[in-house]
Amino acid sequence: MKIVLTGSLGHIGKPLAQELVQKGHEVTVISTKPEKQAAIEALDATAAIGSIEDVDFLATTFTGADAVYTMLPPGDYLNSSLDLVAECRKLGDNFVQAIERSGVKRLVHLSSIGAHLEKGSGLIVLHHEMEVILNKLSDVAITFMRPTGFYYNLYGYIPMIKNMGYIASTYGGDDKVVWVAPVDIAAAIAEEIVTPLVGRKVRYVASEETTCNETARILGEVIGKPDLKWIIITNEQMQSGLEAAGMNPKIAAGLAEMYACAHNGALSEDYFRNRPAVMGKVKLVEFAKEFATAFKQ
């Protein structure tokens, strides 16, 4: 198959491209950075250097593809003028136009746990918006991949652990949390993108279910802090802390609301109704080893 991937060689994009190439597919990887071309070609993939904000570039790159993988790129949370919702809608419209113009009939899109919620989910509402926009496509089979919480987001707590001795968020304690490794997401996408489909499908991807306290215990053991706790703070405390760190106030509010949504269970309610049949291979104890290495740096 001829497959086009957005996301360059990121946490998911690189292992995804590697697996698809190894399975004999013709893979094109889109990247905004010319300096990534050599690394992409080293994987025996084709580099398409350009911006996903350029509809003409996207349509040209998608033309002739049997399937396309799309995703929302990460935003600059410190940019005080960034409007994430407006940017999301713009990119969603770009994908729709490019897919319609190119004639692509199979799409796999990276969404998120919580994307079933129309409101109250903070920044996750961006993924809901994107699913709504992509659903405007007719005669295109779409799988919405909904991964759970990424293990590597835990790296963001390292400064707090070092300075305060605990993890604090608007969710924590015995709240249930579901983690996933990027390589497990890539494996699921690689499987899904070559699977025939008619209509729409939602597929959740997860590696391990646990609690915040258990997560803290496992991480604490490998960094020499066996009594590490994950405490719950208020939305106001969370937001003010993020703003003090220089985050865009609207984005800080969105993150606080997202974590509060995880605390009340709404974020994961649809996941628990539609658990993946098979969990990913990377477990928390394995990720903890990587966390310990990062913690020591």
Confidence of residue 74 (pLDDT cuts 50, 70, 90): confident
Looking at residue 181, what DSSP letter applies?
-
Q: What integer pLDDT is reported at residue 228 of this predicted model? A: 97
Per-residue pLDDT, averaged over 17-42, amounts to 98
H helices within 174-282, ranges in order?
A: 182-193, 212-222, 235-244, 249-264, 269-273
CA 191 to chain centre: 17
Q: What integer pLDDT is reported at residue 111 of this predicted model? A: 98
CB neighbour class for 34 (10 Å; exposed up to 12, middle 13-18, buried from 19): exposed
Q: What integer pLDDT is reported at residue 77 of this predicted model? A: 80
Tell me how far apart the alpha carbons of residues 278 and 275 are, in angstroms, rounded to a whole number.
8
* pLDDT at residue 211 greater than cutoff 90: yes
pTM tops 0.75: yes
Q: What integer pLDDT is reported at residue 82 of this predicted model? A: 82
Sheet arrangement for strand 208-211: 149-150, 176-180, 208-211
Q: What integer pLDDT is reported at residue 78 of this predicted model? A: 83
Q: What are phi and psi of 108, to 5 degrees?
A: -120, 125
Confidence of residue 146 (pLDDT cuts 50, 70, 90): very high
Per-residue pLDDT, averaged over 95-108, amounts to 98
* pLDDT at residue 25 greater than cutoff 90: yes
Q: Which domains does the chain have, with CATH numbers?
A: 2-148+181-206 (3.40.50.720)
* pLDDT at residue 80 greater than cutoff 90: no
Q: What integer pLDDT is reported at residue 116 of this predicted model? A: 98
Per-residue pLDDT, averaged over 183-198, amounts to 97
Q: What is the mean pLDDT of the chain?
A: 96
Q: What are phi and psi of 48, to 5 degrees?
A: -120, 105
- Give the residue, 160 or 77, on which the prediction is more confident: 160
